[in-house]
A and B are shown apart, each in its own frame.
Chain A
């Protein structure tokens, strides 16, 4: 009887260990997938320049912003620098905005207001705050490090005729941006094609969709993306046109000198 009991015990132990190893292998896969997705979406090429049209639409009206964005990767998966030059509407025309993003620390941000010749650093600890009044937050624009959440591979599916991974992510620390996120990651390009955000009451708050994916300069790119805010009943659609990668952008552009005098070789 002792022998049977200990055999049973051994079997359970083995099963649990195998399952444990299996689960940890699965968990690694999930984190690995999210890491690849993050790099494919935020770190394509060494740098990128794009002309952006952002439309914020609700039931009553539509607002359109146009700007040019320059991104440079200082370290793959690490520090990045962003430069934005606003073109429309006319009350923000010629405003320039710069972010030095460091995943380990708070971002450093600056704005230049040409009508008063003022360079102003912006205090902003809150990565969850809206980027220029849209449904995308600063974190959506510059990225959330894959190590900030615990990821689980839930399975796979087909989305828009392409096979995708389904991954669930839960923040490691309580975060007001979301309590749970479900991502559909394209198996070929590793780009996120759908993301659903849930709050702590497990209610859907926002939905991200990759509306159009094209290959540009060899990099699969989400050229039209949208973020639907279910609470505000509003959608922000971002259309990237004339995207170019590996323009040999130099780090010196991300300085006060160029906040005042935009680099014309990238901004038309």
Chain B
């Protein structure tokens, strides 16, 4: 209801600002079916996804600004038949003066340099979609926010203010299993506790800022975020129960990206300050950490591109953390290393696209492989077949916890 109010206001604003206006409508109809490859998955359903999706996009622009709306209607048959809709985007874009650009409303936001590795990209992610084969656009969950970008000679300054905190969307056990620290094992349905989002107060809003400047061949940026961890990494105990919560977080970061050695090189770093546990001694709250990333991408042969990334996640106050762990379960290393690689090959004049993305942690001894092959049959019809494979030595590592969720999928899309 609140969203409908926003859309209506934005349409009226857009409608009133133009002398010459144009409207475009397009979208797609998509069927996505995926099944689990591991019979022992404790989830409620055998299908990881079985949905029909209709996306409609409306773009309206005039002299004053632009309105864009994107809405999804889904029919989900994975377990009980369910109809749903989601307003993916509904925003208004306009400029104030010649240097200030504004984007207001429900929108997808991305920044940072990593390829599926996020340090300063503090915007909500949708792992439920990511793990079952939905389109890349579904990796990010929309946030209702105001984005302002000011372009000065010195550089570009961006600020995103999200009044109501938007968390990541994580597996709940219904279609994808995960590790429950409470149970001490990988669980399916029935163990999910919906963490309460912070109260709707001004101090609980999110503020993400970035300053960008071109220095020679490199685009350099500085970031600051004040908000919360997007995963419920903390917990609160009261007399009867233990509830997962989203702890407070500040991120201070920097990145640079540019061309070098015939390819693209990127470097990013961030200091994650866990505001609810600055000393690291609260066993229910995450410790602060330092994160670093280096990556390189290059076109290796005709229509073949590959990249490599190395991420380092160093936990601060590790000795306190280690002493607080229960015996018998795997305890992560002080410094977790993650290596990733993406290889993409285009065939048949870009009509066939093969890609594989590998996440591998030598310290946690787990991995996640994403495979996808798509064929653009006509301008309107695309067929995609893919899979998601998880493997891990332990049940409680980042990818190891999803090891029973191996799945394969088929996706048909008709665009119009």
Contacts and interface: CB of A to CB of B under 8 A. Distances in A.
Interface of A: 56, 61, 63-64, 88-91, 93-94, 106, 108, 115-118, 121-126, 128-130, 132-135, 232, 234, 256-257, 260-261, 264, 268
A115 B57 CA distance: 11
A115 B264 contact: no
B378 A106 contact: no
Interface size class of B (residues with CB under 8 A): 35 or more
Given A116-B137, A117-B110, A261-B101, 4 more contacts: A89-B379, A116-B110, A122-B264, A133-B351
A132 B376 CA distance: 13
B139 A133 contact: no
Contact of A106 (B140, B262, B303): B262
B37 interface: no
B159 interface: no
Interface stretch (B21-29, B231-239, B245-253): B21-29
A130 B350 contact: yes
Given A89-B380, A257-B151, A123 B26 contact: no
A126 B346 CA distance: 14
A124 B378 CA distance: 26
8 contacts: A90-B57, A90-B416, A117-B108, A123-B263, A123-B299, A128-B302, A256-B156, A261-B93
Given A93-B26, A116-B139, A257-B151, A106 B259 contact: yes
Contacts of B108: 115-117
B299 A125 contact: yes
B382 interface: yes
Nearest to B259: A108
Interface of B, secondary structure class, is strand
A115 B89 CA distance: 9
A268 B22 contact: yes
Nearest to B258: A121
B405 interface: no
A119 B300 CA distance: 21
Contacts of A61: 378
A91 B382 contact: yes
B51 interface: no
Contacts of B334: none
Nearest to A64: B379
B349 interface: yes
A125 B350 CA distance: 17
B149 interface: yes
Contacts of A117: 107-110, 140
Nearest 3 Cβ contacts at the A-B interface: A133-B350, A115-B137, A90-B26
A257 B103 CA distance: 13
B172 interface: no
Given A89-B380, A89-B415, A116-B108, A257 B303 contact: no
Interface string B118-138: 000000000000000000110
A14 B17 CA distance: 79
A108 B216 CA distance: 13
A104 to B, nearest CB: 14
